[in-house]
């Protein structure tokens, strides 16, 4: 009994005076490790008689428990002291400027889409979207392009093999699946779902098999559609002129309409915009017929074909409208001085650092849709 009391006093005193975590761990091993003194005493219980074990068992278990508890308490004290010392030594001077951190940037295409939405929202348009994997009917047939229509040859289309088409549609017409070649299918879907009158723009990705400095297999388009009563070509020209003036932030934008052909509009017009030479770069603005100026083809448009209106389930004698479409990527190139469309999709961080926009550069009509910090 006297030996146990002496061992307990010695253990608790040394544990309480342990100077650091390493010394405390050494004491734990000395007393409670596999070869420790208290662990050795616990092993002697097996050789005792039942009467001796009944007396010594509670004493030894109590000694082991008190020792383990003392170690836990001392460990917490040492850890708290270490934390306080670290906090005192690692204080931060909040008067110093924050360190430079990596910042992401908004891709010019995303920025231009936001600019488009801001301008057309002010003109009463809403934004509509549709699937990028389309069926033949919405992409071609409903837009007045029959199976043998030559206009289909104008679109280098990515078709899906028939084996990838849901076989529940095998007996249905116009179910061949493809990657949409334009965002015009959104016009049909919106007309069917919402009816008329309607004013929408449909920005999004489109796909054609083409690739050079001004074409990529995937690019971005925005199309606009207005269907109402009493709509004429003058409304189309005013809408495009108002949009381009706001987008390029110039009041001297001049448009020229040239007769053209698109199967989904009749009459159809190509829209040219006047440009002037500024330090060897074509900048939109001014009369294209003036000296040092010229005309640039920018977009296609026209009055919605009667057959397209009928395909959407509307009466073309009651409802008329106009539609137009242009490349978002090309708009970005013209406005921000880029000369190669392929760079938009190269993933070059240096390019994005130069042309990218801060997330705080939100387009607004009051501050300017093209404002850049």
Supply the pLDDT for residue 102: 65
Supply the pLDDT for residue 188: 92
Query: Does residue 1 carry a pLDDT above 70?
Result: no
Q: Give tens-digit pLDDT for 127-152.
A: 999 999 999 889 898 988 877 776 66
CB atoms within 10 A of CB 202: 24
d(CA 133, CA 131): 5
Supply the pLDDT for residue 168: 44
Q: Is pLDDT larger for residue 50 or for residue 306? A: 306
Q: Give tens-digit pLDDT for 330-370.
A: 888 888 888 788 888 888 888 888 888 888 888 877 666 76
Supply the pLDDT for residue 52: 84
Per mean pLDDT, which range of 69-83, 153-167, 314-328, 338-352 is the poorest?
A: 153-167
Q: 171: pLDDT confidence band, cut at 50, 70 and 90? A: very low
Query: Does residue 373 carry a pLDDT above 60?
Result: no
Mean per-residue pLDDT, 290-304? 89
Sign of CA dihedral 93, 94, 95, 96: positive
Mean per-residue pLDDT, 294-306? 92
Supply the pLDDT for residue 7: 84
Query: Does residue 27 carry a pLDDT above 50?
Result: yes
Average pLDDT, the chain: 85
Query: Does residue 199 carry a pLDDT above 90?
Result: yes
Supply the pLDDT for residue 197: 93
Report DSSP letters for 154-193, one per residue: GS---BPPGGGS-GGGTTSTT--EEE-SSSHHHHHHHHHH
Supply the pLDDT for residue 169: 41
Q: Give tens-digit pLDDT for 42-80.
A: 888 888 888 888 888 888 888 889 989 999 999 999 999
Nearest Cα to 143, choosing from 33, 38, 262, 295? Answer: 262
């Amino acid at each position: 009994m006297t030996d146990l009391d002496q061992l307990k006093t010695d253990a608790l005193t040394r544990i309480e005076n342990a100077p650091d975590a390493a010394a405390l761990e050494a004491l734990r091993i000395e007393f409670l490790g596999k070869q420790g003194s208290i662990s050795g005493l616990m092993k002697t219980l097996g050789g005792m008689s039942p009467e001796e074990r009944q007396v010594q068992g509670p004493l030894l278990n109590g000694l082991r428990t008190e020792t383990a508890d003392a170690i836990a308490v001392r460990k917490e004290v040492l850890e708290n002291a270490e934390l306080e010392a670290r906090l005192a030594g690692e204080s931060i001077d909040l008067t110093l400027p924050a360190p430079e951190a990596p910042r992401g940037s908004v891709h010019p295409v995303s920025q231009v889409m936001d600019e488009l939405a801001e301008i057309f929202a002010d003109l009463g348009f809403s934004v509509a979207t549709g699937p990028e994997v389309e069926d033949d009917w919405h992409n071609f047939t409903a837009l007045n392009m029959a199976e043998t229509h030559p206009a289909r040859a104008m679109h280098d289309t990515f078709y899906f093999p028939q084996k990838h088409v849901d076989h529940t549609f095998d007996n249905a017409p116009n179910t061949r699946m493809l990657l949409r070649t334009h965002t015009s299918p959104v016009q049909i879907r919106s007309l069917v779902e919402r009816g008329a009158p309607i004013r929408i723009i449909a920005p999004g990705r489109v796909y054609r098999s083409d690739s050079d400095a001004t074409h990529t297999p995937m690019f971005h388009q925005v199309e606009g559609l207005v269907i109402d009563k009493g709509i004429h070509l003058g409304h189309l020209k005013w809408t495009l002129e108002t949009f381009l003036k706001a987008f390029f932030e110039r009041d001297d934008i001049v448009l020229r309409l040239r007769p053209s052909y698109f199967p989904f509009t009749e009459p159809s017009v190509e829209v040219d915009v006047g440009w002037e030479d500024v330090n060897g770069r074509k900048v939109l603005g001014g009369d294209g017929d003036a000296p040092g100026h010229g005309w640039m083809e920018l977009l296609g448009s026209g009055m919605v074909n009667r057959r397209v209106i009928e395909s959407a389930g509307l009466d073309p004698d009651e409802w008329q409208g106009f539609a137009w479409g242009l490349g978002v990527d090309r708009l970005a190139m013209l406005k921000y001085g880029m000369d190669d469309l392929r760079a938009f999709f190269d993933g070059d961080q240096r390019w994005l650092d130069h042309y990218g926009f801060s997330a705080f550069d939100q387009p607004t009509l009051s501050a300017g849709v093209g404002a850049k910090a």
